[in-house]
Structure 1
Amino acid sequence: TEENADVKPYIHEREIKYVDITLPPELEHAVIVLKKLLEMRLKGLGELGYIVPSADKLTMAALNSINVQIQRKIAERNTDAFLAASVHAEIMKIRHAVTLAESQGSEILKAYLNKLSAEGMSPSGTKASQRLCRDELFVSLLKDTDTWEYELLPKFEKTFELVSTQLGEYPESRIIIFANFRDTVTALCDYLVKRGVDARKFIGQASKDSVKGLTQKKQIETLGEFRDGVFKVLIATSVGEEGLDVPSTDMVIFYESVPSEVRSIQRKGRTGRHGSGTIYVLITKGTTDETFTHVSRVREKAMTKGIRSLSATAASGGFIVTTPMSGLGTGNGTADKGQHGGQSSITAFTGGIAENGTAVAGAHADNPVPLVIADDREGSSKVVEALHRSGISMGFERLEFGDYAIGDRILVERKTARDFTDTLVERDLIGQIKRMADAAIKPVLIIEGEDLYTQRNINPNAVRGALCAISIGMGVSIFRTKTPEETADLLCVMAKREDNTTEGGLKSPHFHKTYRSKREQLEYIVSAFPGTGLKNARILLGHFGSIENIVNATEEELRAVNGIGEVSAKKIYETARERYTEF
């Protein structure tokens, strides 16, 4: 946590301010109409025999529960179930409209309702959209939106006020504004630019609807200009929360609350790194904004409590705590003790250092190396708790890929069924798994939970296609578990099996293809360098001519090759000079 001695020196004071926003009468009326539409459809599902909540208690969990009931009826070949599935799709659309009205604003809601109307009028539109756009209440609401001439929700104006005040007092400030939806990011960016603020948007690479994504080159260029002060305000979707080198800022604004404690922490972490910072959270009173704020704060407290509990357990000798490393298999694990002054508090309570530089607590004398390494961001996971209860020796490191590492060969990515489908729809699931698969001899994906095909309203064949691509296309072993405890049991079995593997039973890491041409052999060897891959292997071989020249090249010479970045050059240079050590 931020209170740990190893983290505290790097975290500066951050002030969190919650700003109440009043929902205007026009949007209040729109929400009432939308909830009436919800009640009518929920009542219809109830009459078909489904267990449904009231419109006010319609959470995503409740929607998923309804979908599970419907999918079971479809499996039983119940003819009414297909109508129910269509009504469920309507409910999803209407609920999304409620969210937009309460948290995003009138312009975003207006655009969404017009999109639904266009879908419903189109011959190729879904039955759900066609039925919805014929509803008199919907038609009346759509006419009301035509009278809205400007943004009604005061969030745009409040954001401008906060930004202009900060830049007026501190012209060199850097400000990040987070919003959940691309449409909001685009609209807010346009609004601020019209008001004289030099702002840029920062979104993902995938194009969606009419909004074109940013290429990786454009993303890097945008972040570089933001860091250098070319512009002072960056408006980002969730892509700016993690995994990218987003500069620290003086101010972060949450355009809306998020119910996820992890996302909330990641957003807050964008300020207060190099100096004090302020975080503003815009909350529309009496809406899901308030609910999400409460949920996020409760979960953050629970997470902090869990981490402290785990730390206390480690201090008493229950865990192996390892020094952070960049990833699996990047050398012999020996830490440069002269550069880890902040880590002395860890080694002090862990009772010593193993030969490989790993701080050990509670490890057996004949097994100083932990059987399971968990990514240090998994500290509050129920899987980690279950692993601890099992008594298996384990440790924590910052893993570059995967959530768990077992021995030198196995990397494990764990996803809940919901997370799997969310990442498939909203992020780069295939790319994420591929990067892990490229980094491990034995990549493993564990999907935890039931009802994988009913988590979201997507075609089951899309899920099956992703599973085939991961398993057949990438050679990743896929396991299904029901609970975190079952996942922990599976990891224990893997770890004990791997620990007992003799040298004679080890598979060659080059087992995918029995014959390669000389050209392919060279490409295969060079592509094995961390973060290289086939494309960069060909670039390097084309430039240097041989593996010998690549290995003997200086870091500067590697970096000078067009297409080879600073990080890749550093990894190749260091790996080529790393000494092999038997553990």
Structure 2
Amino acid sequence: MFTESRDTAEALTEFLGQSFETRKFVGQGDKEGSDGMTQKQQQERLDQFRNGEFEVLVSTSVAEEGLDVPEVDLVLFYEPVPTAIRSIQRKGRTGRQAEGKVVVLMANDTRDEAFFWIARRREQEMEDELRELKGVADEVEAELDDAQQALSAFGDADREREERVEPGLTDFESESESESESSADGADAASDPAEEGVVATADSDPEEDVIEVVVDQRELDSPIAKELSRREGVRTRLETLEVGDYVLSDRVAVERKSVADFLDTLTGGDRSMFEQVGDLSRAYARPVVILEGEDLYGERNVHPNAIRGALSSLAIDFDASVLRTEDEDDTADLLEVVAGREQEESDRTVSVHGEKSGKTLAEQQEYVVGSVADIGPVTARALLEEFKTVEAVMTAKKEDLMAVDGVGEVTADRLREVVGSDYSG
């Protein structure tokens, strides 16, 4: 059985151990309240599993590669993974000597659904590409003969071509200087390259009758920033933003994705949409995702449920507003309207850091309990529903803690240890 976190692996080992001979398999690093396994211990655990000394091995991602147990007949994903490579590696642990079975568990209406369909779609694409390559392999081989030149023979020609068609940065120097001098009124030059990325570095002047839009440098490939800078009553500021593509007030920042970029992200971008919006929501109280373009469900061969799951996750899990626009002009119009609403109607300014709004009392209680011994939000809610107050959770006896769903002996011991031990900092 595979799971993403060590805490979950320990909880599953404890739960399954009530019915099966079960052992955990985790990495070498130690975590608070949980010791890692040395390389020797890992090898011994695998040898025991191969020899049939226990039935179930619960592992984190450490066993996705290199685990060779031919007799494994079932691999279970406790939660889906969003990449095809990891999914394939996990599935490859079974079916080596005989038929095997793979089971993937998903929670309805969560990001699990998006992760599942993303990985499944990408696996299918990889299979199609491999079949295509296999189909043309014989044709390519037949075309090659002894007179075929080696690849190295083409090196000089390639370099000559690169020199001919690839201009250097100096070729654009005069053009860049000209564009810099003619940029919109009030727009400053790009930030110092040595300066680290910031959330935003602009403040609107309340005496000026203009709205301000902070634009990330990476958005210069889009005509949106240039279009906004030409508009009367709009001032653009170019910055290197740590998160987001546009900042419209102290609480609103925007991540812009074209439909094509959005779908590319779902099928294996360098940095997932969820990570980007997660960073955005931690810095700004009102994160916004602008999805630009038409034919969301027909642009790529991506399963509609993957798209629906991703959109649901952005709205529900990250509390992000997902807004649709038809094209770049429509996006520029929307940015201007939102910035005007924030800065003129709500009298808000663009600040260096957007601040998250304060948590409700219930959220604070869940945070306090969930942060103790890495209990997590789900178990924290279960404990608070049972004991009603944070104080009661912290003073509960081990046997009372274990009576709560999701709390086993390991979690109960860890909680009592953290709460009851003397501080030795």
The TM-score normalised by the length of structure 2 is 0.44
**Structure in which a larger fraction of residues adopt helix:** 1
The TM-score normalised by the length of structure 1 is 0.33
